[in-house]
Chains A and B, each alone.
Chain A
Amino acid sequence: MAPETLEFEEPIAAVLREIDALNQLPPTDARDRQIEALQRRIQTVRAALYASLTPWQRVLVARHPARPSLEDFVKLLFTGFVEIHGDRRFADDHAIMTGFAEYKGQPVLLVGHVKGGDTKEKIYRNFGYARPEGYRKALRAMRLAEKFGRPIIIFVDTPAAYPGIESEERGVAEAIAVNLREMMVLDTSIVVLVSGEGGSGGALGIAVGDRVLMQEFAIYSVIPPEGCAAILWRDASKKIDAAEALKLTAPDLLKAGIIDEIVPEPVGGAHTDPAAAARLMDDVLERVLGEVTSLDRETRLRLRYEKFRGMGKIGIDFVDAE
């Protein structure tokens, strides 16, 4: 069975159904040639569709259930991953994973959200909605990387921080805020990869770094389009308009200076070929990590400060009327 198709991928789904039907027939050369032709057609149709995705369609791709996650990238890009657990305060949050691994023979710290694959995993991972402990665990692990001078690679993919009673009781806002402040001065290299959904503060809480990269079809937003539509349009069905207005796509964010670089994805999105997606990521990651780690520490920290300090700068996003 091919990966689940999205609503706008109906032209692809139609061809897939034809292939399925042909597969029911007894195998003949003629049938196989027909299937091959249809598969080529899928490539063409997919390339056409993905060449001009709307922002809302990108939201759907970013949320695709088969989109490669940190767990996949751990297998595809890193070796010897050892997960470390817990915030040493309250609990181990399963929506954020931390651990060390080797990248091109160099020890690195990995941090990232995990949404979970099947239903059981999704529940275990709380669908990628982290609680305060997740952010505190992330900071604890990052301090470890700082102490031993290891670079940090962060994968961002969450709908939001968990909006529940216990999150509020245990200070999810404080946990995120402390991470923002501390990550701005954390004395080691940090590369952030927005690999799926960059869901507002829940994403940002582990998304401060020397470079912020974003996969081609990932999104990054101050609020989910559905929430924005409900508040501003007072109509959740206006999510498509909201997705448009929020400028949450990778090209939009690159233009606004919020991300540094777009990591290309295979035609049809990372979920159609995770291994190819990982290879494309590998190329960018290796180069960028090299650039960041070669900076001396003071320069790196100064540049990190200036990068975020400049967001919304004079002449672009506001003017000084006096």
Chain B
Amino acid sequence: MAWFKKTHKPMAASTKVKASRVPEGLWVKCPDCSQVIYNKDLTTNLNVCPKCAHHFRIGAAERLRTLFDDGIWVECDKGLVSTDPLQFTDTKPYKARLQASIESTGLKDAIIVASGRIDGIRAIVAAMEYAFIGGSMGVVVGEKIARAIERAVDERVPVVIVCCSGGARMMEGALSLMQMVKVCGALARLDLARLPYISVLTDPTTGGVTASFAMLGDLNIAEPKALIGFAGPRVIEQTIRQKLPEGFQRSEFLLDKGMIDLVIDRREMKAVIATALRFMGAGQADAVPPPPGRELVAAGRDDGSPKSHA
């Protein structure tokens, strides 16, 4: 067994199952600064290069460990599994791809939803798993996120979604596309219930995930240098027939363009989220009833926008 493996740069919007996670050797070479790092040191540093702060991609369970107090959480809707609604086959059956991903990740689809505490504050966190068909959103991911948000409304707790996805899952066709609406509708209800939603954008966040819940956080927080965009860089290059500028669609670019609120190092992420949640009144929320006269049936908005008198 090799004690040393090369890591690969993450591929944008790839459907490859084997993505660039931290390899399993004892030593890891940082793709950014070439520093050779002892694997254990990397793990204790939340998979951030101690020398140059390169953020290695991490899986959904590892993500939850970085956020929940004492690494403790209760998983929700664990058993949901896709039935391959289109009976889709490309070069191989989607069912086989699903099965392979289920076996290699130990998950049933590309997301873990869990409830636990972030610095003492009760919260529901949904973390996407890139190793599961590129973190793509099909009916199961959409359903689990929608349920997570509805659960948050019921329990009056905040929602955090950690995005890591190539976008909608092609193999579930337009049903995948509709998950964008489904989740955004649930977020509209969370808005009406005045509960916090924090979107954490990690490498990569593209396509239908970006064009739905990823961009709708009360705060949109990105990890450094994450690829974040709607169209994939290759599609854009083909359209405009020129090379894209360095840093295009990276977190810092989006920050500069005003599309995200802040870029935060993974090692600071939990503390920043906790501070933000406190600002948003979470933690006391258990005790605070919803503002009077507010109903979940979304009859008009309460943001000062015009209302119908019809």
Contacts and interface: CB of A to CB of B under 8 A. Distances in A.
| A-B interaction | yes
Interface of A: 143, 146-149, 160-165, 167-174, 176-178, 180-182, 184-185, 187-188, 198, 200-201, 204-205, 208, 220-223, 227-228, 231-234, 241-242, 245-248, 253, 256, 258, 297-298, 301-302, 304-305, 308-309, 311-312, 316-322
Given A311-B175, A321-B79, A187 B187 contact: no
A320 B138 CA distance: 15
B177 A222 contact: yes
Contacts of B81: 318-321
7 contacts: A161-B230, A185-B185, A201-B211, A258-B178, A311-B179, A311-B181, A322-B78
B269 interface: no
Contacts of B301: 185
A232 B15 contact: yes
A152 to B, nearest CB: 12
Interface stretch (B24-32, B139-147, B274-282): B139-147
Interface residues of B, number: 78
Contact of B231 (A168, A241, A258, A308): A168
A4 to B, nearest CB: 25
B210 A173 contact: yes
B63 to A, nearest CB: 22
A210 B249 CA distance: 35
A87 to B, nearest CB: 15
Given A149-B308, A187-B300, A297-B308, A232 B211 contact: no
B100 interface: no
B299 A297 contact: yes
Contacts of A160: 231
Contacts of B248: 165, 168
B38 to A, nearest CB: 37
Nearest to B216: A177
B240 interface: yes
Contacts of A222: 168-170, 172-174, 176-177, 208
A171 B211 CA distance: 9
Interface in B175-223: 175-182, 184-189, 191-192, 207-208, 210-216
Given A163-B236, A174-B215, A309-B185, A245 B307 contact: no
A312 B81 CA distance: 11
Interface in B5-21: 13, 15
B306 A146 contact: yes
Q: A-B pairs with the 8 shortest C-beta distances?
A: A149-B310, A312-B139, A322-B79, A163-B231, A321-B79, A185-B298, A180-B184, A184-B185
Given A231-B15, A305-B298, A319-B83, A248 B308 contact: no
A322 B186 CA distance: 24
